[in-house]
Structure 1
Amino acid sequence: MKLRPFTLFTSLLGYAFAYSYSVATYAQNHSQTTAAPSASSKPVERKFSTDTLYALLTAEIAGSRQQYDLALANYTQQARVTRDPQVAARATMIARYLGATQTGLEMSLLWAERAPKDKEALANASLGLMQANRLQEAFEMSRRLYVAGGEPLFQNIAANAEGLTRPARERLLQSFKTLLPRYNRDEQLLVGIGLLLQQQHSFDEAMTYTEKALTLYPRSIPAAILEANLLHELKRDREAIAKMAELLTFYPDNISLRNQYAHILTHYDLALAQQQFAIIAKQQPKNADAVLSLGIIAMERKDYKAANRAFEKLLDEEQHSSTAHYYLGRLAEAQQNWQEAIFNYLQVERGNDFLSATISLLDIFIKQGDFISAQQHMNRVRIRFPDQAESLYLLHSQALIKHNYLVEGEKILNDALANLANNSKLLYARAMLYIQRNQRADAERDLRQILQFEPDNAVALNSLGYMLTDDSQRYREAEELLTKAHTLKPDDPVIIDSLGWLHYRQGNYVQAIRELRQAYASYQEPAVAAHLGEVLWITGAQEEARSIWQEGIKQAPEDTSIPATMKRLKAE
């Protein structure tokens, strides 16, 4: 709510001289309905102390000089002292203007308490409670506002309920439903109930209330948007698109409606979605979110010229700059313009795209064999973000390992552990690298080092136990490790797979099949499929083994574990 200008100063100053700072006519009686102070308000006699009057005059002078913090402090203090509704109203407005949310809430509640029938007081209190996520109280305040003849915030309150726990949202939903019989034709209540039910994933019931709202108000934008979202959730995108397209013929300038239409189209028709975001960007040239969406969709469609224009526009407007640089980097990379890609990735600041940009930069440097540039860049990043050193070392090493530069990857992990001794994640990453290089003794050393200071590390227990299953002389040791890991995480399918594989190696086929089936039921990864298929093949269930292997290959055609198993068993 926008702050009114500080126009009370002249009138208050006049009162001060007239009453020689002893009494002033300033606000209405506590029992009367009040409105926010303004130049046109006709004051009714109300006695204030000299100190209060002086504080209020000081506040008005401060406001006229744009010293709004001082004005707010004085008004807030005097609202607490006098509990006067107009003083609280003035404090509320200033707090809203300054974004002082907590103070604004306190003052609006005081205002509503002292002027319980004032619609503006109730509206401000409802808004403040909603912003504080006290949605049940916000609903009650809006109910009072509605009874008083004001415009409630039911729909906004429901829209903000996404972050509530399910029980809290259910209580709020019941409050909405309890009020509905009295106001069964109210658009906000119907849409609000629909929104709350949508958040509860009760899509069919939500649709019932939405359809009722649209029957009563066929051109309702909020109800139409909710209907489209529900149709999307119910996998009825074609209906959602058709209805929103029809509604846009009546409201072509409604940005919210077109924006929702465009977002649904991204799941169905990227070309039409791009067209809609282009319309929004034209209607609202400063709408950075629409321009960003336009650029991303254009890039997805390989419309590189349109994408480039959109991202360059964001840079010109200094909006979403890091994200724009990230996508310009991806555009350049797609066109194999490596220097342009590197330049843009280097401009990405810390945020949602920083990690992806860093990975892309490393990928370019490493594919070009430029390990020095990769090292220098990661050194700079670690200096900028020392709290992320562990993750950055891991990122660097994994990028090298992905391109099969195992020696270089090991060097990065060695350097990392020299700086971050006994770091379990770094030790584990190096152990996995040693296993990949068949350096089993080195891998065992690192895994046991983890277990020295983290004896209940289930991941290390499982990895060491699984590795030892290859050595028939160490089955007992492997079983101890895997049993402990299973006790710590009894539902972990990776650990269950390891136990099943150990029992297979021990010749306990029945137990092995039972555990491997359990692991595969919840974790259908190629390695688990390879294990289960092998045990089934060995025990004579060869058709089932082939079926499981084929399904595993279909899900991950680039994984080599199943083909290697089939080749070893001569099961091609």
Structure 2
Amino acid sequence: MRSRGSKFKQMRRFGCSGVVLAGLLSACASPSLRHGAAGNALLQPLQRIQVATTDADHDVVAQLLLGESALGHNDLKTAARAYGKASRLTTNHQVAERATELALAVHDLPAASEALARWHQLGGEPDVLAQADATLAMAQGHTRQVIEDGRRLVATHAPHAWERLVRVLVGSPDQAAAGQVLAAVATPERLPNDTQVWISMSGLAARLGRMDVAQRLATQTVQRFHNAPAYAWAGQLQFESGNQTRGRHLLEQALQKDPTNPRWRLLYASLLSRAGQSAAAARLLAEGPQSLQIYELRLALAVHDHQQASLQRIYRQLQQAKPPLRDQAGFLLGQLAEVLGRPGEALDWYGQVGDDDPHAFDADLRTALIMASQSRLDDAHAQLAQMQSDYLDQPAQLRQVNELDAVLYMRQRRYTQAVAAYTAALGEAGRDPGLLYDRGIAHASAGDIDASIADFRQVLQLKPGDIDASNALGFTLADNHRDLPEAEQLIDVARQSRPNDPVINDSWGWLQYRLGHLPQAEQALTAAWQAQPDPEIGVHLGEVLWQAGQKDQARQLFHRIQQQDPHNLSLQQTLGRLHP
């Protein structure tokens, strides 16, 4: 049966067969094949009498078709009503099962109770029925009944009985009741001889806030199984509860039980790192057999602690590692080379990352970034163009490629190409506020003010009151002498939210200049320049000083900015206009 959409997928919980409708339609259609034309000619007069057809409310096939159609439109309430009627008209227990789960999905508890009773009447798998009983009782708030149903469920010893219990409990909004049920059902005499089930129940208890049950089960798991997973889980719980001494003892026991398995060292080191003991974590990871995951965590710890010697040691070890580890480590070696300031080596490593490697996209993207950092911008764009072809059917990756392409074009002041790249990224991401904002900046830089204003207005539609968009739209309006009252309102909103932001104060000062309020403009722009000596702010302040008659100060400021950013376009335009 075809997919019904995300809500329906989440709603399915009991394992109802996907061939209910097809089977029933086939059964209903088969009698019509028994008589051909010759058979009709032999019917007796009374047999040829036309009997009125069943109305839709009493036609099981009609109700199933209605239910399936409603599911196709994600209309769960209509589907639940239709399947509820169908369950009363059929002897197929799968229809009653579907009716039960749909009624529960829309929280129609009376309907769910009726459908479940019908399901019991028609028969079904004992563990599935017990799960449904427990689910309904949980929804009704009958905790004692849930406990009884839960015990009946695990007593079936069905292969997935404990998984079904988990589904009942994690789906409940009443976590306290769920924890009470778990404590009553997941007892040593009921749990199977399976370490993973014991650990799972202890983990669920912790998730439900029953740390007492979680700790008790973890301790009992160790006492019963004495294996590495049991010690590791018990140690993790102790660590996370603040008892690091006991936790370390248990995790060391796990390592002794299974010394060649890197899983336990990774867990132990992760817990040590989270507890602020990164040096101890690094020492632990450096010992014993290595894996790619261990090297990744070692790298992260060394970067975090600025351990240059450790980074170089890891780099050498990975270079000398044997296959298949060495073959899997291309991306990690590229990252290490970047951190160590060896971009040429990083490019070589990234070039060795295979197309089937999970880091292939990241390696390609890092390649473009390194090329850009080396001022090889044409090569970077060529790399990104190849990626646009390679990842054409992967929207999320394609969006990142186009966005980086746009950023590089902005850096080159090739604003028309930047707009095109942002537009391509938006084609993959839809109306993304961040991309619209950036494209608005690119439009403004390209001189297309109407398009810039339109993008900023779209951002504010998607994120009403957004501070950055309000400031950007207000500044763009002010800079182009467009609707200054609206500009004032927008920038004032931004100022109230971030009164000390130099960028917003720059916008406010420039607006005051456009309004002819030179003293207010000079005050705001001077404060912005002192807080953040950015060339754009300085150009604005210089023009205000010039117009206020402070031409020597303006010339000094323009000279300083020219030394700071010789190719600043705003400065060039301002100097050309003022002729200082």
Given the two structures, how large is their TM-score scaled by the length of structure 2?
A: 0.50
Task: Give 1:401-480 correspondences, 5 Å limit.
Answer: 408=341, 410-416=343-349, 425-426=362-363, 428-432=365-369, 441-451=375-385, 454=388, 458-469=399-410, 474-480=414-420
Structure 2 match to 1:514:
457
Q: 1:265 aligns with which of 187, 205, 217?
A: 205
Instruction: Return the letter of the residue paired with 1:220.
Output: R
The reply to whether residue 284 of structure 1 matches residue 224 of structure 2 is yes
Q: 1:182 aligns with which of 111, 118, 121?
A: 121
**Alpha carbons of 1:454 and 1:417: their partners in 2 closer, same or farther (altered >3 Å)?**
same
The reply to whether residue 502 of structure 1 matches residue 451 of structure 2 is no
Contact between 1:462 and 1:481, CA under 8 Å: does it hold in 2? Answer: yes
Contact between 1:513 and 1:532, CA under 8 Å: does it hold in 2? Answer: yes
Q: Deviations over 1:386-416 (max 9, x none)?
A: 5434422344256x2xxxx6xx153442342
Contact between 1:288 and 1:320, CA under 8 Å: does it hold in 2? Answer: no
How far does residue 298 in structure 1 lie from its aligned partner after superposition? 1.9
Structure 1 match to 2:472:
535
How far does residue 247 in structure 1 lie from its aligned partner after superposition? 5.0
Q: Deviations over 1:14-60 (max 9, x none)?
A: xxxxxxxxxxxxxxxxxxxxxxxxxxxxxxxxxxxxxxxxxxxxxxx
The DSSP-based 3-state class of the residue aligned with 1:255 is coil
The 2-side partners of 1:214 and 1:427 are apart by: 53
The DSSP-based 3-state class of the residue aligned with 1:284 is helix
How far does residue 296 in structure 1 lie from its aligned partner after superposition? 1.7
Contact between 1:365 and 1:374, CA under 8 Å: does it hold in 2? Answer: no
Structure 2 match to 1:245:
183
**Alpha carbons of 1:546 and 1:310: their partners in 2 closer, same or farther (altered >3 Å)?**
farther
Structure 2 match to 1:317:
257
How far does residue 318 in structure 1 lie from its aligned partner after superposition? 1.9
Structure 1 match to 2:494:
545
The 2-side partners of 1:547 and 1:390 are apart by: 50
Q: Deviations over 1:414-458 (max 9, x none)?
A: 3425757998744532543576x6x6x434531333315745655
Instruction: Return the letter of the residue paired with 2:331.
Output: S
Instruction: Return the letter of the residue paired with 1:255.
Output: L
**Alpha carbons of 1:445 and 1:420: their partners in 2 closer, same or farther (altered >3 Å)?**
same
Contact between 2:318 and 2:326, CA under 8 Å: does it hold in 1? Answer: no
The DSSP-based 3-state class of the residue aligned with 1:469 is helix
The 2-side partners of 1:335 and 1:325 are apart by: 16
**Alpha carbons of 1:518 and 1:383: their partners in 2 closer, same or farther (altered >3 Å)?**
farther
How far does residue 375 in structure 1 lie from its aligned partner after superposition? 1.6
Q: 2:283 aligns with which of 331, 338, 342?
A: 342
The 1-side partners of 2:346 and 2:93 are apart by: 52
**Alpha carbons of 1:493 and 1:335: their partners in 2 closer, same or farther (altered >3 Å)?**
closer
How far does residue 373 in structure 1 lie from its aligned partner after superposition? 0.6
**Alpha carbons of 1:210 and 1:392: their partners in 2 closer, same or farther (altered >3 Å)?**
farther
**Alpha carbons of 1:371 and 1:547: their partners in 2 closer, same or farther (altered >3 Å)?**
same
The reply to whether residue 254 of structure 1 matches residue 190 of structure 2 is yes
The 1-side partners of 2:492 and 2:288 are apart by: 55
The DSSP-based 3-state class of the residue aligned with 1:254 is coil
The 1-side partners of 2:334 and 2:461 are apart by: 32
The 1-side partners of 2:226 and 2:18 are apart by: 36
The reply to whether residue 307 of structure 1 matches residue 240 of structure 2 is no
Q: Deviations over 1:337-385 (max 9, x none)?
A: 737633435546548x546534445437852444421321331458543
The 2-side partners of 1:172 and 1:360 are apart by: 55
**Alpha carbons of 1:286 and 1:493: their partners in 2 closer, same or farther (altered >3 Å)?**
farther
**Alpha carbons of 1:222 and 1:395: their partners in 2 closer, same or farther (altered >3 Å)?**
farther
Task: Give 1:359-398 correspondences, 5 Å limit.
Answer: 359-360=299-300, 362-363=302-303, 366-381=306-321, 383-397=323-337
**Alpha carbons of 1:501 and 1:387: their partners in 2 closer, same or farther (altered >3 Å)?**
farther
Instruction: Return the letter of the residue paired with 2:130.
Output: V
The 2-side partners of 1:348 and 1:217 are apart by: 47
Q: Deviations over 1:278-324 (max 9, x none)?
A: 33224423354433221222222342222222222222322893121
Task: Give 1:225-236 correspondences, 5 Å limit.
Answer: 230-236=168-174
Contact between 2:456 and 2:473, CA under 8 Å: does it hold in 1? Answer: yes
**Alpha carbons of 1:362 and 1:512: their partners in 2 closer, same or farther (altered >3 Å)?**
same
Q: Deviations over 1:493-521 (max 9, x none)?
A: 65444323323444334312134346769
Q: Deviations over 1:237-264 (max 9, x none)?
A: 222223333556xx45433697565323
The 2-side partners of 1:411 and 1:356 are apart by: 21
**Alpha carbons of 1:313 and 1:543: their partners in 2 closer, same or farther (altered >3 Å)?**
farther
Instruction: Return the letter of the residue paired with 2:312.
Output: I
The 1-side partners of 2:167 and 2:506 are apart by: 52
Contact between 1:314 and 1:321, CA under 8 Å: does it hold in 2? Answer: no
Q: CA RMSD in A?
A: 5.0
**Alpha carbons of 1:210 and 1:357: their partners in 2 closer, same or farther (altered >3 Å)?**
farther
Contact between 2:426 and 2:435, CA under 8 Å: does it hold in 1? Answer: yes
The 2-side partners of 1:460 and 1:397 are apart by: 23
Given the two structures, how large is their TM-score scaled by the length of structure 1?
A: 0.51
Contact between 1:499 and 1:515, CA under 8 Å: does it hold in 2? Answer: no
The 2-side partners of 1:376 and 1:567 are apart by: 51
Structure 2 match to 1:558:
none
Give unpaired runs (5+ residues) of structure 2.
Answer: 1-14, 20-73, 77-82, 84-91, 100-117, 156-160, 393-397, 476-486, 508-526, 532-580
The 2-side partners of 1:442 and 1:216 are apart by: 70
Instruction: Return the letter of the residue paired with 2:407.
Output: Y
Q: Which moved more, 1:368-377 or 1:228-237?
A: 228-237
The 1-side partners of 2:260 and 2:216 are apart by: 20
Contact between 2:399 and 2:428, CA under 8 Å: does it hold in 1? Answer: yes
Q: Deviations over 1:461-480 (max 9, x none)?
A: 332223333566x3222223
Instruction: Return the letter of the residue paired with 1:532.
Output: A
The 2-side partners of 1:453 and 1:564 are apart by: 38
